[in-house]
Each structure stands twice: as structure tokens, then as C-alpha cells.
Amino acid sequence: MTTLVAQLKALVSPSQLLTVWQRLKGVPSGGRLMGRLAGLAAPYTGSISPEVLSLEAGTARVLMRDTRRVRNHLSSLHAAALMNLAEMTTGLAVVSALPEGLRGIPTHVGMDYLKKARGPITAECTCPVITSTQRQDLEVHAELKNAEGEVVARALAKWRVGA
């Protein structure tokens, strides 16, 4: 169990995160497995059963399916589930953009909910690749779209990065 915990914690390392993704992206259900690994590393993230669709340095796309466990009383996706998806997506983009030895933590996540979210939702975030090892605050944005490509929510996440 200790080895598994150590391996999961390695996912917060930029190089390890991208290495794991490179191994999984070509495997059947590799994106779901990557989402599950992220959920094991950060348990609340796993509550939305995310699927990583793509991951490159500074860019992430993550899918959340519309299931009963992430719905609200209005038969749409719960605001907290959408926020969780946005935080995970911005986190993957930020961590994958960091130089080795740096880490990030969110200090703020805000959402604008534009319309009821139903069906599978894909979040996408792009941030610049970080070259400085100085502690800094980053602002990154994520868009959450439904299957028709309509933006259902926009997120602003602030991440503090440093050693």
C-alpha cells in the first residue's frame, strides 16, 4: 500500500504526470484510468468519475459523464460537480506546465454558470508553460461545454505555484 501511495503522490510531479499519461493514453480506457488515478491521489476529485481526454504541458481536457450521483434536484448537473471538474482540469493543466520541483495549490476557484448542464460535460484549460522557479500566483480559465459544444460554465482558478 505504501508503494501505491508513493506512486499516486508522484502524479503531482510534472514529469511523472505526463509520463503516466503517455503510457495510458493509448491503452483502451486509459483516460478513465488516468481519471481514477487522479481520484485516488485527490479523493474528492474521484467523486465525479472523471476521464482525461488529453493532457500536454499546459493543456488539459477532462470529461465528466452525466450520472445520477452528480445531479441535483433540477435534473441537471450539480454546481459542485461542475466546480470539481473545473478545478481538476485547471490543476492538470497547471501541474503539467510546471518545471520539475515545483508544485501548485488552488487558492481560489470561481464559476459562472451560464445554462443548465446536462449530458456529458467536457472541461478544457490551457495555461502558459512556466519557466521560472519563483513562487507565483497564476490565473487560469476553464470552459465547460456540453455535447453540443455550448459553453455551460466558465471557471477562473488561481493557483499558487512554487517549491
pLDDT in tens, 69-110: 999 999 999 999 999 999 999 999 999 999 888 889 999 999
Number of domains in the chain: 1
pLDDT band at 112 (very low <50, low <70, confident <90, very high): very high
The mean pLDDT of 157-162, rounded to a whole number, is 94
Of 9-23, 73-87, 130-144, the range with the lowest mean pLDDT is 9-23
DSSP H helical ranges for the chain: 2-9, 14-24, 30-41, 79-97
DSSP single-letter state for residue 1: -
Q: What percent of the chain has pLDDT over 90?
A: 71
CATH number of 63's domain = 3.10.129.10
User: Which structural domain range is residue 125 located in?
Assistant: 2-162
